Structure 1
């Protein structure tokens, strides 16, 4: 049992050692002066440079190479920054243009809706609700006038009929009176003629 425990501990320590060595080897392989990130290149220079007391001794060629890579990286960052600024400005201009276009479209839409919801009457814009109320008022007024004229016409017609009836009665009475007067006149003439005939005889 103790043998197994010791064997296990020995195996774990051995594997840990190999794992640390492998990781260190991998890190060394990743570090390079001409490849990788700027951070890796600085780390390469720091680790590979020599020591003199508390100072690090670095090859000048490495410093020039590191400087060139750093400048290239900074130039790339500046170019990316300039490109990004240009894109941002372009997008800002496009957004402003879209805002203006949207404002114009909204204004046109409002005008269209207002025109759709209103009716031109004698050159003045009027809402459809007001137009309907006005039309119904005009129709009611015309209907009232029609009823008034119908009433007046019937009243006048009744008066005309009454007047005609009275005129016919008056004409009938006049005709009766004329006939009676004519008969009386004829009777008086006959009597006068008779008297004249008697006197002659």
Structure 2
């Protein structure tokens, strides 16, 4: 009988240890791993009675708690991601507004760099440059025209001076001739008067 008692004690402790290992394995398997692996574990440890699975209620409750915890965690992650997406969208909107403002300021700076005020009138630099070149060409043309007129006048003046000198020379010559004739006539007159007296 002692053998039966001893055998009974060993069986009792063996079943307890097996049950404890099974519970520990169940808890370890239900407490870790993915939801899919937890479902597979429950499917493996379930009893099959005439094509109906018998599942321990504690396993289902643990699985339900794990699924709900996973859903809560995912919901929190989704909420955080949506918040981050919202803040990123706000940031992108702000950056787009700043970019459009900067682009507009750049365009205004370029436009103001291409324009300036001249006698109270806003003029583009290209128009101003064209007007200045036209003014330079007109002034150069006027300078050329007046230089040509000056040189023509200078030539005429030189010719007139030359003609004047020739006329003056002729006049001097004529005056000398006239003086000589006058002297001759006076001498003849004096001689004629002396010859009568």
Q: TM-score if structure 1 supplies the norm length? A: 0.62
Matched, 1:64 2:65: no
- CA displacement, residues 93-136 of structure 1 (integer Å, 9 cap, x when unaligned): 233333334434444555566677x57583522249x83x6555
Of 82, 85, 90, the match for 2:82: 85
Show the counterpart of 1:125.
124
Greater shift, 59-68 or 178-187, is seen at 59-68
Q: How much is the aligned-residue C-alpha RMSD, in angstroms?
A: 3.7
Show the counterpart of 2:194.
197
- Unpaired runs of at least 5, structure 1: 1-27
Show the counterpart of 2:171.
174
How far apart are residue 58 of structure 1 and its match? 4.9
- Show the 5 A alignment for 1:46-195: 48=45, 58-108=55-105, 110=107, 118=114, 122=118, 124-127=123-126, 131=129, 137-195=134-192
Alpha-carbon separation, structure 1, partners of 2:190 and 2:84: 142
Of 26, 37, 59, the match for 1:40: 37
How far apart are residue 197 of structure 1 and its match? 2.5
Alpha-carbon separation, structure 2, partners of 1:191 and 1:77: 153
How far apart are residue 79 of structure 1 and its match? 0.7
Query: Contact 1:31–1:44 (CA<8 Å) still a contact in 2?
Result: no
- The alignment partner of 1:32 has SS state of helix
Query: Contact 1:31–1:41 (CA<8 Å) still a contact in 2?
Result: no
Given the superposition, is the C-alpha separation of residues 137 and 30 from structure 1 closer, same or farther in structure 2, using an over 3 Å criterion?
A: farther
- CA displacement, residues 44-65 of structure 1 (integer Å, 9 cap, x when unaligned): 4455456788766555444433
Given the superposition, is the C-alpha separation of residues 30 and 127 from structure 1 closer, same or farther in structure 2, using an over 3 Å criterion?
A: farther
- The alignment partner of 2:124 has SS state of strand
Alpha-carbon separation, structure 2, partners of 1:92 and 1:148: 71
Counting matched residue pairs gives 170
